[in-house]
Structure 1
């Protein structure tokens, strides 16, 4: 990541940091009960305002936490059991960035990992134990079929599929070539169809599986010079939601949608986040930790980071004039001006 991006996009203080602090203090359903208990220990009576007001606040926080818990259970169902000794994780575009980080973490823990990436230098087991690289253009169905045969023969049936491969062409629409368009759609969305159609039958046969779709907040908030990347990510997001509905007949398969904001990876080299406080730049390790935790716990659902990503869809219920003002105020349409990435780089 460039120095320009680092200096402009990374701030020591962000709304996400404040949110994390609040979650561990004033919004923690356990800690908030210590306040009324402390007042009671000091012989405050129940009718005293400090005691009953703090108890009321604690009750509200606890109720909200319980509602969120039941909402998650009703929406995404019970978790599946994840046995790392019996799982085979497949990651597309795992030769660098977020995908490589997840692969290495699982490999160090003893989980068998297959990485499909057309840019890998050497095939076979990498320096990180239990991580095996396969040179494969995931946008090419025949190539994925060949890779599937090798993975199943050498490693076993894939039970965790992480569709992570992506390319970016950060330039205006009229400057894009036909090859740019074809490459983006093949890698960013056709690859999902190729891997899903080939690896899902094995998960159904095994009676367990997790499908992780790595999308982007740009699918909801597309800036200038993302007229190719953003639509392909929007297609991936829509595909996730449709699949989640279809998989209701297979409750043992969990679907997880990951919609991160800007990460400090080679994919968006030179891009600066429009606002370091409201839209801080993400470190891949933070996103990887959330994804790995969800897979380990056998959860489905959605991971949106940073905080503004969770509310991005609200933008589209605002009046058009207000949306235009917000675009100008946020500076989102200037974010890609320093883009120096390359379409050959897979994330």
Structure 2
């Protein structure tokens, strides 16, 4: 919602103190083998013997930490068929042609503009044009939920720019209705934009990546794809499908197409401060915001670019609490219900009104001057 779109304005980075910052500090101190290594060394040179608890206990902890981080590193290396001694060559950004679906607003717009600064050719596919001053952003009007339009635009892109090397599937829509209130048109739109569009763009842009044995597919899912909630049944189901799609795509590239060099990155973010969820009711209390912070679009954009630069297949959970979402189904029912209650998940969409992705048959109720001005602006 342009009139209230806070993410596009400067925000106080250092005022956003939350659990993610605490975890980051711990990761570089108490959970860092390099940092912990100096504790037993300090006590040893203070005169304590090796068998003293002050020496061997932190030393054992350092070994355990080193083993944990080694296994984590090796797992990532194994998934990407990497070398134990040599990392991938630096990505040549100037040679990349990056397609961003839904790139005219929200996270997609920020990603497109940020990539353009790196002298990358960025192709934005959206039903609305992107407003930008970057000369190397090329906009194509395209409803990615329709194969005929994707096929036609793909041919045009190849003729005018060349074959895309990176695909960022970012387009999305949410209805915010109870199951019995969803119309067939609502469900159809949700799955066409959130899920079918991914199959369309993969069908168009993936063949050349497989042929060249290189490329990168970025899939934007959601934490709701791992843990459903009230009033987002269609959205959660469509995002869950993307998680399964990403898994299947990875194994097809590795086992059937013999193209492990085509990387796949799955993003599983929590609430992002974009127009799509601007009418959701998230608690504003400091304690809630500390443990379950909303993501600024710039944080997601930076993570997307970092994932491309890493040239690794991976799954990115953000913010920190999203890492626990895969385990919710394994919890006893009373703990799962407690998690739903403490996160306010089943009530955030109460009174929700759809803003972005409205169809011609939908209208926003102009109950305030802001909404009236927004409605007239979008028309």
> How far apart, CA to CA, are the structure 2 residues paired with 1:255 and 1:299?
8
Residue in structure 1 matched with residue 260 of structure 2 by the alignment: 251
Q: Mind listing any 5+ residue stretches in structure 1 that lack a counterpart?
A: 5-10
Return the offset for 1:340.
3.7
Would you identify which runs of 4 or more consecutive aligned residues in structure 1 move more than 4 Å?
A: 1-4
- Deviations along 1:140-177, one digit per CA (max 9) or x if unpaired, are 11111111112112221111011110011112222222
1:19 to 20, 23, 27: 23
Residue in structure 2 matched with residue 7 of structure 1 by the alignment: none
Residue in structure 1 matched with residue 99 of structure 2 by the alignment: 90
Gap change, CA 1:3 and 1:186, over 3 Å in 2: closer
Q: Does 1:196 pair with 2:196? A: no
Residue in structure 2 matched with residue 310 of structure 1 by the alignment: 323
Q: Does 1:293 pair with 2:306? A: yes
2:38 to 34, 38, 50: 34
Residue in structure 1 matched with residue 374 of structure 2 by the alignment: none
- Deviations along 1:212-252, one digit per CA (max 9) or x if unpaired, are 11000011112111011111111111111111111102111
Range that drifts further, 224-233 or 14-23 = 14-23
> How far apart, CA to CA, are the structure 2 residues paired with 1:237 and 1:277?
27
> How far apart, CA to CA, are the structure 1 residues paired with 2:56 and 2:317?
36
Residue in structure 1 matched with residue 247 of structure 2 by the alignment: 241
Q: 1:135-214 to 2 correspondence within 5 Å? A: 135-214=141-220
- Deviations along 1:253-302, one digit per CA (max 9) or x if unpaired, are 11110000001111111224453233211112112212211111211110
Give the TM-score normalised by structure 2: 0.83
Residue in structure 2 matched with residue 226 of structure 1 by the alignment: 232
Residue in structure 2 matched with residue 68 of structure 1 by the alignment: 72
Task: Provide the aligned length of Structure 1 versus Structure 2.
Answer: 338
Gap change, CA 1:128 and 1:22, over 3 Å in 2: same
> How far apart, CA to CA, are the structure 2 residues paired with 1:160 and 1:225?
33
Cα-Cα RMSD: 2.4
Q: 1:315-334 to 2 correspondence within 5 Å? A: 315-334=328-347
Q: Mind listing any 5+ residue stretches in structure 2 that lack a counterpart?
A: 7-14, 360-379
> How far apart, CA to CA, are the structure 1 residues paired with 2:215 and 2:330?
35
